[in-house]
Amino acid sequence: MIDHGDWPIIVLTLRAAALSTLFILPPGIALAWLLARRDWPGKSIVETAVALPLVIPPVATGLILLRLFGRHGPLGAFLTGTLGIEIIFTPRAVVLAAAVMSFPLLVRTARVAFAEVPSRLEQIALTLGASPWRVFATITLPLARRGILAGALLAFARALGEFGATILIAGNIPGHTSTIALAIYSLIQLGRDAAALHLLAISLGIAFLAVWASEFFIRSRRP
């Protein structure tokens, strides 16, 4: 059973993961297509940079984000000073950390999905008078949709469990920025192991469903 007090934490976590996945979908799909279908200068550098959050310590990614989006950081100064949008230590920071950490998983999975679409079909669609945009919308995207969906679910699952970057730029403010992962950490610190295990079980259940769904879409991809 889910405790009454756990609901806000679960809702915050699910909402942050869902929002971060929604935000990264358009740029993720665009970048995945560019990596799969086009050759351009600096492609390998962008490819490597996008994969970095997978391999560098999440806390290090958090530090980079703190420097960029902090009040005196180049992006933070603009967002706070010009648009009046605070990022650091707000729920937006939870979404931002989750988005950055899960972006590589979406891009890598979607890139494979785009690469598997036979370019012959796109060429034939062009000879039938379809503009490149129409070809993308009616041929490429539908044929890659299962792979993209699998990537989005994987990104969502990764976002659910994000900890290192989140704790640095969002803090661990109960009811405000405290996600399941952060709440488990707090509960262990306070010696409330039973409550921590309870949240762990919930976290495992949600993550299992997301990863299972992702695997389902990867496996059922058209040949």
Partner 1 sequence: MILELRDIRLPLPDFTLGLSATLPGPVTGIFGPSGAGKTTLLEIIAGLRRPASGTVTFATRLLDNPARRIYIPAHRRAIGYVPQDAALFPHLSVRANLLYGARRSSSSPTTLTLPAVTGTLDLHPLLDHPIHALSGGEKQRIAIARAILASPALLLLDEPLASLDRALKDRILPYLQRLRTAFGIPILYVSHHLDEIAVLCDHLLVLDRGQCTHIGPVSQLITPIDRPAFALR
Binding site for partner 1 (CB under 8 A): 118, 120-121, 123-132, 135, 138-139, 142-143, 222
Q: Is the CB of 84 or the CB of 129 nearer to partner 1?
A: 129
CA gap 113, 107 in Å, rounded: 10
In the bound state with partner 1, the residue whose beta carbon lies nearer, of 82 and 133, is 133
CB of 122 to partner 1, least distance (A): 10
Closest approach of partner 1 to the CB of residue 135, in Å? 8
Smallest Cα–Cα separation from 51: which of 129, 107, 131, 11? Answer: 107
Give the shortest CB-130-to-partner 1 separation in angstroms.
6
Q: Which of 142, 166, 160, 173 is nearest to 199 (CA)?
A: 160
CB of 31 to partner 1, least distance (A): 23
3-state secondary structure of 83: coil
Cβ atoms of residues 146 and 217 within 8 Å: yes
Q: In the complex with partner 1, which residue's Cβ is closer, 44 or 127?
A: 127
Instruction: For residue 2, count other CB atoms closer than 10 A to its CB.
Output: 12
DSSP 138-188: IIIHHHHHHHHHHHHHHHHHHHHT--HHHHHHT---TTTT--HHHHHHHHH
Residue 119 in 3-state DSSP?
A: helix
The tokens describing 198, both together, are: 């309870």
Q: Cβ closer to partner 1: 124 or 201? A: 124
Nearest distance from residue 25's CB to partner 1, in Å?
20
In the complex with partner 1, the residue whose CB is nearer, 82 or 127, is 127
